[in-house]
Each structure stands twice: as C-alpha cells, then as structure tokens.
Amino acid sequence: MTDEIAAAKKALRHRRIIEIVGRRGFSSVEELAASLAVTTQTIRRDLTELSASGLLRRYHGGVGLSGEVDQANYRRRKEEQAEAKRRMGRCIAGMIPDGATVFLDTGTTLEAVAEALVARRCLRIVTYSLRVANYLSENTDFALSMPGGQVRNADGAVFGDGAAAFLRRFQLDVAVIGASGIDDQGMMSDDDFEEVALVRAAVARARTVILAADATKFGRTAAVNLGPIGDVATLVTDAEPGPALGAILAAAHVRVHVL
C-alpha cells in the first residue's frame, strides 16, 4: 500500500509539473520545488523521468516544453486563431514597402504574413522556412533566398551549420519574427537554440524589426533567451498586453498594433 501511495503522489506531482511548465513555458528546479513543497532532489528525479518520456525537455537549471514539432501539433496551431493570424498578416504586410528586403521567421503566424505579402511588389525575401519559400515562389515573382541544411518535416524549417552566417550576408530592411514567450520583464524567448541563433542573426542585420505574437505568448518564458523587447520596433498582436509588459513596451518606444 505504501508503494501505491508513493506512486500516486508521484503521478500527481508529474501532472502538476506539466501544468506549471505548460503555463509558464519554462520553470527552474527551485521554482518547481517551492510550488510543490518538495525538495529540489525530488524535482530533479521527476524531471529526469519526464524528459526521458519526451513530455518535457531538460535545460540547465530547469525544464521547458519539449520543443518537439510534429505535424499534428503544427496543423493544430495553424488552425487555432486562424482569422486573428490572417489579420496580423495583413497588418504586417501593410507596413512593408514595395522593393524591400525582408526576413521572415518560421511558424504559422509568419505563414499568414507570407500569404498577405502577395499584395506587395518586387520584394526580396530571406527565410529559413521552406513553407514560406514554397508559397511565395508559387504565388509571386519575389527574389527568394534560403540557407541550406536539414529540413524539419513538420514545419519546413531549414537548419544547417552555415545558416546563421548565410543570413548575416544580407542587409535587411525589415525582419519579421515570432517568439514563444514574452515575460513581464520584457524578455523574449523561444524553445529552440537553432531557431534563436538564426533569428538573432537576422535581427542584427535589420533596419527595423516587427514581432508577430498573439496574446498567449504574454507572460510566458521559454527556455532560450531571444533578447529584450526593445530590440523590436513594432509589436503586432491580438490583445492588449498586461500593465507590466505594457509599461516596458512604452518605455522602450515599441509601437503596439492590437487587432
């Protein structure tokens, strides 16, 4: 009976850990131990089991969402808030002048931006999203540039050793990026080290940066630091940020478009 009780407590603790990380995007060992009133040693054992099962992903000092992108989840994300994403895409496309050199990040919202960009003329698109490149190659005469590397089948993202160096060759007029989370201190973050490296390379080469992020990203923290919100000139979203983030956006002179 004692073993059964211990197993039931552990199963409940695992569910609570997944719930907490799901809300926050990333949690430290210490935060989880305090939230669940157990020792850090217990949490570390739990995280080892949860990461081995693929439910979560271990990082230095804590745990985040697995970051695994599969086709079913990607299709689900594409369908969620589809109309809001289309509105965001049209808004961002309206900010991009004809003839500009534009970096497009990967993700379902960025695919909506690509669809709206067909109204523009003479763009040069730099992207590591095969889906974005395929769509634009079939529907526009834009100049398209992509790095080489391995293709992630679920979302068509392309990763390779020279991808970041490839992006740094361009002088970009606009970089349109996404993020997995924006915390109340104004730090952007994402779940994948390789994606962050590519996005940071593009941001460093862009005259202006537009962040497309729906309200589910507010207050979340993913595992990999993408940079401060002050790196962004414009935030396009579907709901007003909370007071803390709103104050940081105002202090950093970030223009906010709520659709």
Residues 37, 55: Cα–Cα separation, whole Å: 22
Quick check: 245 and 218 in contact, CB under 8 A?
yes
At residue 15, the pLDDT reads 86
60 phi and psi, to 5 degrees? -60, 120
How many residues appear in the chain?
259
Pinpoint the residues of the chain covered by CATH 3.40.50.1360.
73-258
Range 2-65: architecture per CATH: Orthogonal Bundle (1.10)
Rounded to 5°, the CA angle 245-246-250 comes to 115
Instruction: For residues 20 and 109, give the distance between their C-alpha atoms in angstroms, rounded to a whole number.
Output: 25
Strands in 56-59's sheet, in edge-to-edge order, are 26-28, 62-65, 56-59
pTM of the model: 0.77
CA–CA dist 175, 232 (Å, integer): 9
Q: What is the pLDDT of residue 225?
A: 85
User: What is the pLDDT at residue 74?
Assistant: 52
Residue 7 has a pLDDT of 84
- Dig out the tokens for 34 from the structure: 């305090």
Q: How far apart are CA 141 and CA 120, in angstroms?
A: 10
Q: Enumerate the CATH 1.10.10.10 domain ranges in the chain, comma separated.
A: 2-65
Structure tokens at 202: 């593009």
- d(CA 160, CA 196) in angstroms, rounded, equals 13
One digit per residue, the tens of pLDDT, for the chain of length 259 reads 477 888 888 989 998 888 888 666 678 899 999 999 999 999 999 999 888 877 787 876 778 766 555 555 555 655 667 888 999 999 999 999 999 999 999 989 999 999 999 999 999 999 999 999 999 999 999 999 999 998 888 788 998 888 999 999 999 999 999 998 999 899 998 877 788 889 999 999 999 999 999 998 998 887 778 999 999 999 999 999 999 999 999 999 999 999 9
User: What CATH code would you report for 73-258?
Assistant: 3.40.50.1360
Residues 220 and 166: their CA atoms lie apart, in Å, by: 30
